[in-house]
Structure 1
């Protein structure tokens, strides 16, 4: 930075500090003139540093891109700010998380709401955003009222998640600033657009909230009357959940649509009558003719699945549901509720697994036993600091899942870690299958949760759901 540029930036920070001193005392929405200013650092080059990314529609501002963070901390926990470049160019409006955490604070300092500083951030603003999100879902599913209604930055409402279960909404805030500044306006906008019977505030996104220095609480009713159980009917399966219970994640059911479709297709293939046999004139009395249909009850292993295992049981499969030991009681209760409502409790058995994958916890008889294995662990690499450990766990769990799957069986792997790139995930799966002495053919691969989970184009690596399906066979030595 040149000396003149440094002096200009210092003068602008001083003016910003003076403005903050005379700014609003509460967190009520200020007008454009009284809104404090977040000043970006000067660019290192044309494409790096300062406002380089925000100027190209990047919706996040990191701490090292802002020059006057300490001055803004006097505003409290969070604030709406006008964002300006180091040269004074207006870039838009952002909500700022001003929480201190150690020596660095929250890494994502601010999230952009608009690129126009003259925009009024009020009820009409949020009503328009909710209507825009609803219009997209209505186009995708004109006859349904069950989907993820708001998916954060993908619907231009950063830090806000909302799942619709008919007339009941499950709302979450993954950004502290959104919770502090926007909660009432978001609730009022949802009420104005959808008139829900109830809105439940949940805290499922624990990793995101902890990174934001936000508290973790029990789910609570914030609008309307207590809704009872949530119900979401699908062909051949009824999803049911207690909106106030732990042991399930709001929105996971919608993200797993494609997984359930693949699972249903595999079960249909396995349960189709076997008419390939040649009829024989001579047969043992009491046994069916070879030409008669032979129905098979598929065996399915669901590792950490919230709904896929029970959906398979509802279609006639014999299912073993393995839950994580840390939340085994709550998760098993949620699964039992699902099984009872789908009248398939006799087809399901339950077990809990530790943090480290061990096939003996399932029983030695489970080796090469299941026709379909669905591996749906929680986010094993929730942050980049835990990426290496997460990769090791993904490899180990894939090895266990492959060992439990029959030759010719289907292995489904779901990944909820946004830090895990598709290439890295495929490498972990490959190593796990190799360690189990198996070969695999890739039959499906996707890196998106679905049409109701749009992603901001500048944040493509924040996708939180990947799905891989593989057909397994014996290893080279066995074949």
Structure 2
């Protein structure tokens, strides 16, 4: 940075300090002039540092891109700020988390709400955003009221998640600034647009909230009356959940929509009558078709296993030992409501995959295996350990799947790139002595979970489907 640029930046920071003395946080300020200013550092190059990314519609501002964070901390936990480049160019409005320290580049300091500093951040602003999100879902599912209604930055409401289960909404804040500054306006906007019978505030995104230095609380009713159990009907399967249950992740059912479709397709193939029987001499008709009851292993699945049982499959549901009681209770409730209790058995697995916990008889036993672990690599600091666990669990899943069977792998770790995940799956399948053909791969949770284009490598929910066969040695 040149001497003149340094002096100009110092003058801007000094003016910002003066403005802060007459400013306050929150959404009640009258307009643009009263907002404090977040000043970006000078660019290192055309594409790096300072406002380089924000100027290209990046919705996040990282700690090392801002010059005057320490001067803003007196505003409290969070503040609505006008963002300016080091040269004084206005970039827009952001909500700033002022509890974060350090200077690391992976520390998200602020999230953009608008690229126009003259925008009024009020109830009308949020009502328009909610209407925009609702319009997209209505186009995708005109006859349904069950979907993810708001998906953070993808719906231009950073740090906000909202799932719609008919007349009940489950709301979450993954960013502390959104919770502190936007909660009342978001709730009022949801009521104005949808008039829900109940809004439940949940705290499922534990990793995100811990990174944001936000507290973890029990689910709570914030608007309306207690809704009872949530029901989400789909063809051949009724999903049921307790909106106040711990250990449940709101929205996971919608993200797994494509997984259940693949599973249903595989079961339809397996349960179709076997018409390969030949005509026998003296018999003009085909022999009676043979009906097969598919065997399915659901590893940590929330709804896939019971949905398979509801379609006639014999299902083994494996739950994690750390939350075995709550998870099994939820699965038993689903099985009871879908009247398929007799088709389901349950078991508990430890943190490390061991096939013997399923029983030696389960080796190469299942027609379909669905592996749906929680996020094993929730942060970049746990990426290596997570990759090891994905490899090991894929090895167990492949070993349990019979030759010709279908293996479904779901990944909820945003830090895991598609290339790295495929390497883990490949190593796991190899360790089980199998070969595989890739039949499906996606890195997106679905139409109701849009992703901001600048964050397209988020890998919100990855799904891989493979057809397995014996290894080279066996063949």
Normalising by the smaller structure, the TM-score range is over 0.9
What CA deviation, in whole Å up to 9, does each residue of 1:52-80 have, x standing for no partner? 10000000000000000101111111000
1:106 shift after superposition: 8.1
1:463 shift after superposition: 2.8
SS of match in other structure, 2:457? helix
SS of match in other structure, 1:182? helix
Distance 1:103 1:13 in 2: 18
Classify 1:478/1:16 alpha carbon distance in 2 versus 1 (closer, same or farther; 3 Å).
same
What CA deviation, in whole Å up to 9, does each residue of 1:23-55 have, x standing for no partner? 127663452111000000000111111001000
Matched, 1:60 2:60: yes
Distance 1:388 1:96 in 2: 31
Classify 1:362/1:17 alpha carbon distance in 2 versus 1 (closer, same or farther; 3 Å).
same
Q: Which residue of 1 aligns with 2:176?
A: 176
Q: Structure 1 stretches (4+) deviating beyond 2 angstroms?
A: 24-30, 100-106, 280-290
Alpha carbon RMSD of aligned pairs, Å?
2.4
Classify 1:281/1:74 alpha carbon distance in 2 versus 1 (closer, same or farther; 3 Å).
closer
Q: Which residue of 2 aligns with 1:385?
A: 381
Distance 2:16 2:278 in 1: 95
SS of match in other structure, 1:33? helix
Distance 2:135 2:67 in 1: 39
Which region of structure 1 is more displaced relative to structure 2, 64-73 or 19-28?
A: 19-28
Classify 1:357/1:218 alpha carbon distance in 2 versus 1 (closer, same or farther; 3 Å).
same
1:103 shift after superposition: 7.4
Which region of structure 1 is more displaced relative to structure 2, 148-157 or 282-291?
A: 282-291
Distance 2:227 2:26 in 1: 34
What CA deviation, in whole Å up to 9, does each residue of 1:240-272 have, x standing for no partner? 000000232111000111100000011111111
1:288 shift after superposition: 16
What CA deviation, in whole Å up to 9, does each residue of 1:365-411 have, x standing for no partner? 11111110000011111111111111110000000000000011000
Classify 1:288/1:8 alpha carbon distance in 2 versus 1 (closer, same or farther; 3 Å).
farther
| 8 Å contact from structure 1 (residues 372, 405) kept in 2 | yes
> How many aligned residue pairs are there?
475
1:104 shift after superposition: 5.8
Which of 339, 362, 367 is the equivalent residue of 1:366? 362
Classify 1:25/1:401 alpha carbon distance in 2 versus 1 (closer, same or farther; 3 Å).
closer
| 8 Å contact from structure 2 (residues 310, 338) kept in 1 | yes
Distance 1:377 1:249 in 2: 13
| 8 Å contact from structure 1 (residues 61, 110) kept in 2 | yes
SS of match in other structure, 2:14? helix
| 8 Å contact from structure 1 (residues 99, 106) kept in 2 | no
Which region of structure 1 is more displaced relative to structure 2, 13-22 or 397-406?
A: 13-22
Matches within 5 A, 1:287-298: 291-298=287-294
SS of match in other structure, 2:110? strand
What CA deviation, in whole Å up to 9, does each residue of 1:211-240 have, x standing for no partner? 111111111000000001100000000000
1:22 shift after superposition: 1.8
Distance 1:223 1:197 in 2: 8
Which structure 2 residue ranges, 5 or more long, are not aligned?
none
| 8 Å contact from structure 1 (residues 96, 111) kept in 2 | yes
Classify 1:352/1:264 alpha carbon distance in 2 versus 1 (closer, same or farther; 3 Å).
same
| 8 Å contact from structure 1 (residues 101, 213) kept in 2 | no
Distance 2:278 2:417 in 1: 58
Distance 1:78 1:329 in 2: 38
What CA deviation, in whole Å up to 9, does each residue of 1:423-448 have, x standing for no partner? 11111000000000000011111111
Distance 2:314 2:283 in 1: 24
SS of match in other structure, 1:322? strand
Distance 1:102 1:361 in 2: 44
Distance 2:21 2:284 in 1: 88
Which region of structure 1 is more displaced relative to structure 2, 387-396 or 20-29?
A: 20-29
Q: TM-score, length-normalised on structure 2?
A: 0.97
1:102 shift after superposition: 6.5
Classify 1:369/1:26 alpha carbon distance in 2 versus 1 (closer, same or farther; 3 Å).
closer
